Amino acid sequence: MKRLLGRVRDLFLKPSVKIGLGVLVTGGFVAGVLAWQGFSTAMEATNKEEFCISCHTMHDNLLPELQKTVHWNNRSGVRARCPDCHVPHNFTDKVARKMQASREVWGHVVGTIGTREKFKEHRIILAQREWARFAANGSKECRACHDYKDMNFDKMRPTSQVAMRNAAARNQSCVDCHKGIAHQLPDMKGARNPAFDTLVSSAASQSVEAGQSYFLVVPQDLYADEGLSKRIGSIEVATQVKVLETKGDAQRVELALWRKNKGYGRVWYGHFGLNITSAILDKEIAQDKSFVKVLDAKEDPMTGLEWQQVTATAWMRKGSVLDSVEPIWTIARASYSTSCSVCHRQPDEAHFDANTWPGLFGGMVGFTSMDADTSRVVLKYLQTHSSDFSTTQHGSGSAETSLQTARP
Amino acid sequence: MNNQASNSSSLSDTDAAARTSEWPSFLLLAFVGLPVAMTLLIAAYGFVVWLLQILVFGPPS
């Protein structure tokens, strides 16, 4: 080892005795030119469509999808190739992206997306990664060809004009709206918001004490027995429950909620007079007097409906509660502000009351990329931070007092 | 230079050996060693930028 180091030192520090300086410099110059040329040839070769689709995952999944779009074939004969959109064009980011591809090589070796089924299942993760990249750089790669400054808005259809002029004024990222433009969109329905994974893992390590109140981090099924065999309903995310006991994998919880004394009384709400869904029970159990205890009844002056304060105990799988609801709202808040501000400034949470939000939100959520779980959390977040609760942050039992002031 | 080299007796041997292998060493260094080092350095640079993107900066803006 020492000998080797010595030889390397000699190689660099000892002047040459046989070869002239000019020959050395010329030789080094030629070698440098060749090396750089070779390097950029290699960079170009790995930036070719042929290179991308030489891997069967790309060839079987993404190429056929691209071939159906205008980016593959159109009347003007200009087309986009994989790296035009997916590899940054400047040197540093390009090199970083090439190194990032080591992850893709690893995925290829392990076979993470080796089959069409696996690919479809994994697609949402891949898409979100790419969407995050486009969101961060303002869809720079799209705009190498389609830039706002070169667009003639007058030649667009009138409906497009409105949207595009507004987008140009905001200098908005293209992919904010044009998702799925060159490939199929991921199946959003089965998608999970990755933000929930951290929530679920912190819930798994949450120590639970009997008699304390906790909040659900994901929707759960409710069961009549500790063996979790007889399903009697489901409980919504961010609902507060009191844990009574834990047996094996199951947890007995007490629900203290409100319901409308109308129909079967299957849907239970968190607060009097506010349609914030907390639990949904099966028909028979909701009418079972031995299961449901009615503590109080009040009439809602707005609707003339009688609301009952009810309580019940049920079993659910353990490991999905947290002692604070704030982490859930943090995710909801982030999702609300990013998804809704894409097209307009999102209204203040307290701008509407809890019973107005569901209609508004239901009308708008279709324009966003929120998955089912996320949209439920966001709606609940908006309702519990609505004008009905604006005086107190968490509305812990104070809904009735703030209700009076919030309504005319 | 030669004065310095002759200070130790064993060095003159390696000196002679080095003289005969000067051309091979030069070619090896210029056309293999340094290009490989360059590629490795650029790769390392890429990895460092990627790591920083993950940990500090977020995706390039």
For residues A377 and A331, is the Cβ–Cβ distance under 8 A? Answer: yes
Residue type, A314: A
Across the interface, whether the CB atoms of B31 and A95 are under 8 A apart is answered: no
- List, in order, residues 6 or more apart from A17 with CB less than 8 Å away: B19, B22
Please give the pLDDT value at position B39. 93
Please give the pLDDT value at position A267. 92
Whole-angstrom Cα Rg for chain B:
21
Alpha helices in A179-308 (DSSP H): 195-204, 283-286
d(CA A294, CA A290) in angstroms, rounded, equals 10
For residues A336 and A378, is the Cβ–Cβ distance under 8 A? Answer: yes
Across the interface, whether the CB atoms of B61 and A39 are under 8 A apart is answered: no
ipTM entry:
0.70
Closest residue of chain B to A16, computed from CA coordinates: B22
Closest residue of chain B to A133, computed from CA coordinates: B59
Across the interface, whether the CB atoms of A38 and B30 are under 8 A apart is answered: no
Q: How far is CA A105 from CA A98, A102, A116, A222, B42, in A?
A: 11, 5, 17, 43, 19
**pLDDT tens digits, A240-286:** 999 998 888 889 999 999 999 888 889 999 989 898 999 999 988 88
Across the interface, whether the CB atoms of A136 and B60 are under 8 A apart is answered: yes
Residue B31 to chain A, least CA–CA distance (Å): 6
CA dihedral B36, B38, B43, B49 (to 10 degrees): 170
Closest residue of chain B to A24, computed from CA coordinates: B26
Query: Which chain A residues are closer than 8 Å to B27 by Cβ?
Result: 27
B interface mutation test: which of A24, A99, A104, A128 has the most B CBs within 10 A? A99
The residue with tokens 């050395």 is: A24
Report which secondary-structure segment, H or E, holds A307.
strand A306-317
The residue with tokens 């290009």 is: B35
Q: Quote the crossing angle between the two packed helices A372-384 and A357-364, to the nearest 10°.
A: 150
Residue type, A127: A
Query: Which chain A residues are closer than 8 Å to B49 by Cβ?
Result: 92-93, 95-96, 99
**pLDDT tens digits, B19-60:** 567 888 889 889 999 999 999 999 999 999 999 988 877 777
Across the interface, whether the CB atoms of A96 and B49 are under 8 A apart is answered: yes
Please give the pLDDT value at position B19. 57
Residue type, A343: C
pLDDT at position B5 over 50: no
d(CA A265, CA A293) in angstroms, rounded, equals 12
Report which secondary-structure segment, H or E, holds A332.
helix A326-340
Please give the pLDDT value at position B17. 57
Whole-angstrom Cα Rg for chain A:
30
d(CA A240, CA A35) in angstroms, rounded, equals 65
Residues in B 4-33 with any Cβ partner in A closer than 8 A: 14, 18-19, 22-23, 25-27, 29-31
d(CA A345, CA A364) in angstroms, rounded, equals 13
Q: What are the tokens at A3?
A: 């000998």
Query: Which chain A residues are closer than 8 Å to B43 by Cβ?
Result: 95, 99
The pLDDT averaged over each successive group of 10 residues in chain A (408 residues) is 86 86 93 94 92 87 89 91 92 92 89 86 84 90 92 88 86 85 73 72 84 89 89 90 88 91 88 90 87 88 89 89 88 82 79 90 82 86 88 46 40
Query: Which chain A residues are closer than 8 Å to B22 by Cβ?
Result: 16-19
pTM: 0.55
**pLDDT tens digits, A15-33:** 888 888 999 999 999 999 9
Query: Which chain A residues are closer than 8 Å to B60 by Cβ?
Result: 88, 93, 96, 133, 136-137
Within 10 Å of residue A238's Cβ, how many Cβ atoms?
22
Q: How far is CA A134 from CA A57, A86, A339, in A?
A: 22, 9, 15
Residue A17 to chain B, least CA–CA distance (Å): 7
Residue A370 to chain B, least CA–CA distance (Å): 21
Across the interface, whether the CB atoms of B39 and A98 are under 8 A apart is answered: no
Residue A282 phi/psi, 5-degree rounding, is -70, 155
Residue B25 to chain A, least CA–CA distance (Å): 8
Closest CA to B18 of B1, B36, B43: B1
pLDDT higher at B8 or A334:
A334
Q: How far is CA A239 from CA A100, A328, A396, in A?
A: 41, 11, 12
Please give the pLDDT value at position B50. 92
Across the interface, whether the CB atoms of A92 and B49 are under 8 A apart is answered: yes
Bridge partners of A259, per DSSP, are A268, A308
Query: Which chain B residues are closer than 8 Å to A32 by Cβ?
Result: 34
Bridge partners of A258, per DSSP, are A269, A309
Report which secondary-structure segment, H or E, holds A245.
strand A240-247
